[in-house]
Amino acid sequence: MFLIGGDLPVARLGFGTMRLTGPGIWGEPADRAGAVRVLRRAVELGVNLVDTADSYGPYVSESLVAEALHPYPPELVISTKGGLTRQGPDQWKAVGRPEYLRQCVEMSLRRLRLDRIDLYHLHRIDRSVPLEDQLGELASLRAEGKIRHIGLSEVTLDDLHAARRVVEVASVQNIYNLTRQRYRDTLEYCTREEIGFIPFFPLGRGDLTRPGGELDSLARSRGVSPAQLALAWLLHLSPAVLPIPGTTRVGHLEENLGAAQLSLTPDEVKGLTERWSDVPAVG
């Protein structure tokens, strides 16, 4: 377990809902009933961190979460994000004007059927708007009781330092997996400061689980799947790491969650890190 913000206990394997939408993270899923089944099964299996965003669909993912899981179990932590607008499939643009972020929070509350959002991430820093204005508005919304904890997404260590001068930061959601390790300094800082580090794309974009690949061979030698090995590696990097693998299939969900039972030695973790690292290994 990990305590987000020091007071929200979550199991260390969560569920990310981005892929539950249509192609290009745009529109409705091909099988809405199937998406609902996956979400419900995740919670049945003990997942209590569900991550979504207003831009997934847009709006589709949040509505799916509410349809599948409301009324929410008391232990379920809903994380959502705002500050990215959509112009079409696979198109994203940051908008961090305070009035827009306030609108994002209000509409997410409505779609998710919540009075307060447990964990709200600024989806991207808008470099055209002062960071103090963006985070200051989220801090105001927290003071109003509409947000419990504030997080950041896809930020550098310098960004995180700057943000913490404005507001308490409970979590950081950055891309991180075996082949994308460039935020290692941010991960190490989050570990020291007990800030949740939520890797998105923890399995890459499917490349890490490709049959016949190098990771597949290593996983087979351990009697596990490539996805389980990649997720177990993340879990062993730091007690602050909270992967959120997503899937549209119950079978893949159950397989992914099996990673929590896979034990790796320090030498195995180091070997995996160095084999796929896109930056020189440290330590």
User: Would you give the end-to-end CA distance of the chain in angstroms?
Assistant: 25
Which residue intervals of 91-130 are DSSP H helices?
98-112
β strands within the chain, DSSP E: 2-4, 8-10, 15-16, 49-51, 77-82, 84-88, 91-94, 117-122, 147-153, 171-175, 196-200, 202-205
Is-contact 244 49, C-beta < 8 A?
yes
- Please identify every residue annotated as catalytic: 56
**Amino acid type, 256:** N
Backbone angles phi, psi at 58, to 5 degrees: -70, 160
Backbone angles phi, psi at 186, to 5 degrees: -70, -40
What length is written for the chain? Answer: 283
Is-contact 270 24, C-beta < 8 A?
no
Which residues, listed in sequence order, are joined to residue 153 by a DSSP beta bridge?
A: 173
β strands within 133-282, DSSP E: 147-153, 171-175, 196-200, 202-205
